[in-house]
Amino acid sequence: MRIIILTALCLCNSLPAMADDATTASDIRQMAGTFLDAWAANQSELGRRVTFSIGNVDSRLTLAPCGGEPTLSFASDPLTTSSPSILVRCSGDRPWRMYVTASVEVYGPALVASRPLTRGERLTSSAITSDEVQLNASRQGILTDKSVLQGMTIRRPVRTGTVITPDLLEAPHAIERGDHVIIVARSGSFSVTSRGKALGNAGVGEQVMVENLQSSRTLKATAVAPGRVEIPM
């Protein structure tokens, strides 16, 4: 996910004048606060709610005055961590840079389980609902579009209200053990088909052992579609 960068050019009316004076800890905290206020306003337009606090800045800090406007950016993505660092950078005649820690909580709508879900259960729209959650509480990411869950199954049991993250989802097997499959032996544009039986489970692109029902030979094939595998000739 792209880390949003807000330059201090848009904050020039709020920042302290530093052309002649040293940059102090108070100045750095004010800049970080203004930066986070602007970012929170941006997230509000996207339907998200943000709370934050700025970490400690050593009160003894004294940096050179910044001849131009300093630039602030997130050093880590605030949508995947609740403890992002903010990089404050001056590129004037006497350049400097420093990091400010922050505690950031971002709340917004995400998909959650509307009831307990069991391992291997195929998801349906009735099993999922949308609720406000802390979006950056997990590094796994969150999901907001129900359409991406279509046909997916759950890797492990989850409780009602659990946020649905990508690591909880598994694509169903295209081929399951015992399925009768079409075996395609291919060489360039030439191919020969035969019937076989799957000896294991596999998703599309995964390898699976199959038994050729005509020759009784066991072959290693690649699942290319439900009920269809390929082997090289």
pLDDT of 20: 56
d(C-alpha 108, C-alpha 106), whole Å: 7
* Residues pairing with 132 in the sheet: 109
Q: Please give the average per-residue pLDDT across 133-156, as a whole number.
A: 86
| pLDDT over threshold 70, residue 42 | yes
Nearest to 132 by CA among 165, 114, 106, 156: 106
Measure the CA–CA gap between 131 and 104, rounded to whole angstroms. 19
Reported as a pLDDT band with limits 50, 70 and 90, residue 9 is very low
Counting every residue, how long is the chain? 233
Q: pTM for this one?
A: 0.65
Position with higher pLDDT, 50 vs 226: 50
CB atoms within 10 A of CB 219: 17
Largest distance between two CA atoms of the chain: 88
Q: Residue range 168-184: average pLDDT?
A: 89
Top pLDDT among 5 and 51 is at: 51
